[in-house]
Amino acid sequence: MMKYILGIILIAVPGIYGYLGNTLIIPLYPMIAQIFFVVYWLWIGYIIGRLSKNQLQGFLFGNSLWIISLLLFIWQFMLTDNVDRNVHIAAIPQYYILSFAWLASKLSSIFFSINGTTIIIVAYVCMLFIFILGFRAGKK
């Protein structure tokens, strides 16, 4: 039970960073934060890959907050219009991917026209890709 609580805390760190970075305006250079979180998320994927006996359950556990956050983003920004959007719920998915926003903005500028929704979707894809790399390395 304790390892699951610790796991939830570890996979919540990007969201905690995003919340603190946004509300307290922590002055951390975006590129440095990006490097730290790429390494961190790769490590989280590796650890969860090593510790999970069932590959699918481990993968879903490691991405559980990612999935919830993505679903909240889709609900609030793609299925709800501006008038009905709940600003508190809409902030949660943005907090969760803030640590990958720098990388996503750089990649978005190469492949797409830059807008907030595109950057957020690319940030989610980057998080998933980096987690998968770490998870697969942990399984080997």
What digits encode the pLDDT tens for the residues 19-54? 998 888 766 788 888 999 999 999 999 999 998 889
16 vs 24: which has the higher pLDDT: 16
- pLDDT confidence of residue 27: 62
| Residues 10, 62: Cα–Cα separation, whole Å | 9
Torsion angle defined by CA atoms of residues 59, 109, 79 and 23, in that order, rounded to the nearest 10 degrees = 80
The CA angle 58-62-63, to the nearest 5 degrees, is 120
What are the structure tokens assigned to 140, written together?
């080997």
Average pLDDT of every residue of the chain: 92
Q: Would you say 136 and 49 are in contact if contact means Cβ atoms under 8 Å apart?
A: yes
- pLDDT confidence of residue 57: 94
Question: pTM for the whole thing?
Answer: 0.91
| Residues 45, 30: Cα–Cα separation, whole Å | 22
Arithmetic mean of pLDDT, 85-111: 92
